[in-house]
Amino acid sequence: MSKKTFNPAEWTETNKTESKATANNKPVQSTNPIPPLGGGSDGSDIETITQRIESSSVDIAPNYADWRDLGFALADELGESGRSYFHRLSRFYQDYNSTEADKQFDACLKAHGNGVSIKTFYHLAKAAGVNVGIPKAKESKPNSKVKEKAEVEEMSDEELSHSPNGEGSGVRSFPSEIFDQLPDLLRRITVKGTSPEDKDILLLGSLVSMSSCLPNIYGVYAEREVFANLFLFVTAQASAGKGRLTLCRKLVEPIHKALREQNKAEFEIYQRELSEYAAAKGDKVNMEKPQEPTLKMLVIPANNSATGLFQILNDNKGKGLIFETEGDTLALTFKSEHGNYSDGFRKAFHHETITYNRRKDREFVEIDMPRLSALLSGTPRQVSTLIPNAENGLFSRFIFYFMNIRYEWKDVFAGESGQTLDHYFDHLGAQFHELHKCLESQGKPMRFCLTVTQQQLFNSYFEQTQIQYIELCGEDYIGTVRRLGLITFRIAMILTALRIMDNGELRSPLVCSDTDFNIAMEIVKVLVQHAAHVFQQLPTDTAAKVQPNQKQQFLNMLPAEFDRQTYLSVADKLKIPAKTAEKQIARFAKTGLINHFAQNQYRK
């Protein structure tokens, strides 16, 4: 294959072999990353505590959210063997139904735990007043590597209450089914994820990085020309795993290096011509002074003055990627005297013209149709430092993904196949570079579009979602929902562009397949929850005027189907007055958050 020619068919054929190799060498993950209390790995501790629950006839999961998480915990720890425990623990609910319990556990198995560990089981038991301490573990089996087990005390409330998805947050991971349906390049990226959240951030980080490198592809949204560029902020506590995002930069590093090499060559020519011009002496009258070449790069440093960033952006024809894994870097830059380019960020999201005064020669410059992408990560506190409130508009332009720290120790030696992740992602980056060169060489831009049916589904979903989140989060959240619509359109555009590597079809218009449309919609259904969760952590003077946390918690704690008595019971636990609960249920029904399908019968 020529270095200048992209051959999708050849690329696809090559990767069929590589994909098989990847699958065969996939690290085997333990289904029991944390031993149960007392160190038992055979479920003996779970059996002991289950017997205690049975002897006291207590329902440890009285609401749907707890019951669901109990299923996740048992499925994650015991697999199919957890089904019998799920039935034994569910039967103390007054409306227990074995068929419904089976259906629920089937869903939990398919979700592969959804990040909830066996600690949730212990937490629910302890919260119901059951003693979860194991006095002393049984003697280890002859083949066990551990010969003795120490006495184990009860876990603290803080340890037991932790859930990787954030208790009460309502946020979740992307549906596992979408990963097998992704374009091949993204599938090969996300297969390296070690957990549902890890897969999610690898997918989002890849989409955002590559959104800066899809030349000659555009779409029309709200009667405006738009490109694929996205902004992402992954927020998590230190050591939660957000550092894996650095792998995503490798996907576009070859494009960045090619631009830097081009710039280096041009600068060498400039230096030589400048020397010749200086040596010409009296002949300068007939010579034109060489022009210094523009500074070419893809990845623009975040630690920059506003003018410096805009100048680099202008030198690169309005295109660039800010990739910063420490949110404080940008936050501190914004606080500096000449570094606040928040206004430019907001304009760039919609490709609005950015203007600035060039320091050199005091020249007034306009950047038309800027195409800036940004990938940031940091702690929750760094979010509020960068975006102090939701009112300045910067919040609504970002995709937010909230990661919880996972307390399981990861096997740092798993997956040793002779190839590091760095080399693996370097290889994928080289292949994406071929697509970039192919798109760049196209004579005419290619328009991306949705089908009429997809447009109808899109409008219907966002119309309903806007109504629901105004109810849950207030009017300040409208901008976020509306811009998530544009973000979804851009995600679908990127997925469709990457399909070129699978099918080799370069044509205009690029029509979104139903598969890619559904993937984009499933992604945004999760992102809208993550954004709402981060939104609710912003300073209370702007984000908590309508007490969205209590509304969201009330909705989360309602079971899949319920009646008036059930929702009043949930409201009582949250200290919500009965009349207030009745009004809130009516509003939930009116906005479509729940379905009032029969007299005194509701469904989420």
Q: Write down the domain spans for the chain.
A: 37-161, 558-603
Q: What pLDDT, on the 0 to 100 scale, is given for residue 33?
A: 30
Q: Identify which of 149, 288, 298 has the alpha carbon closest to the alpha carbon of residue 213.
A: 298
230 in Cβ contact with 490 (< 8 Å): yes
More confident residue, 382 or 586: 586
Q: What pLDDT, on the 0 to 100 scale, is given for residue 3?
A: 35
Asked whether residue 160 carries a pLDDT value surpassing 70, the answer given is no
- pLDDT (mean) for 44-63: 84
Asked whether residue 205 carries a pLDDT value surpassing 50, the answer given is yes
Map 308-325 to HEC letters.
HHHHHHHHCCCEEEEEEC
More confident residue, 164 or 205: 205
Cα–Cα distance measured from residue 148 to residue 407, given in angstroms and rounded to the nearest whole number: 24
Q: What pLDDT, on the 0 to 100 scale, is given for residue 454?
A: 96
User: What mean pLDDT is reported for the chain?
Assistant: 80
Residue 35: band (very low, low, confident or very high) from pLDDT cuts 50, 70, 90 = very low
118 in Cβ contact with 72 (< 8 Å): no
Give the other-Cβ count within 10 Å of 409's Cβ: 8
Cα–Cα distance measured from residue 381 to residue 45, given in angstroms and rounded to the nearest whole number: 38
Q: What pLDDT, on the 0 to 100 scale, is given for residue 43?
A: 55
Q: Tens digits of per-residue pLDDT, 452-496?
A: 999 999 999 999 999 888 887 778 788 899 999 999 999 999 999
Query: Which tokens is 438 given?
Result: 């192919």
Asked whether residue 559 carries a pLDDT value surpassing 60, the answer given is yes
Q: Identify which of 167, 115, 233, 234 has the alpha carbon closest to the alpha carbon of residue 549.
A: 167
425 in Cβ contact with 250 (< 8 Å): yes
Q: What pLDDT, on the 0 to 100 scale, is given for residue 405?
A: 66
Cα–Cα distance measured from residue 557 to residue 560, given in angstroms and rounded to the nearest whole number: 9
**Global pTM exceeds 0.75:** no
69 in Cβ contact with 116 (< 8 Å): yes
Q: What pLDDT, on the 0 to 100 scale, is given for residue 112?
A: 63
**Among all chains, which residue has been given the structure tokens 């851009």?**
490
Query: Which tokens is 511 given?
Result: 């029509």
- pLDDT (mean) for 330-358: 81
Q: Tens digits of per-residue pLDDT, 388-423?
A: 776 668 889 999 999 876 666 777 666 666 678 999
Cα–Cα distance measured from residue 162 to residue 599, given in angstroms and rounded to the nearest whole number: 38
Alpha-carbon dihedral of residues 469, 474, 476, 478, nearest 10 degrees?
A: 30
More confident residue, 152 or 388: 388
510 in Cβ contact with 495 (< 8 Å): no
Cα–Cα distance measured from residue 150 to residue 148, given in angstroms and rounded to the nearest whole number: 7
Q: Which of 247-251, 322-326, 528-532, 561-565 has the highest mean pLDDT?
A: 247-251
- pLDDT (mean) for 500-509: 89
Q: What pLDDT, on the 0 to 100 scale, is given for residue 286?
A: 72
Q: What pLDDT, on the 0 to 100 scale, is given for residue 167?
A: 39
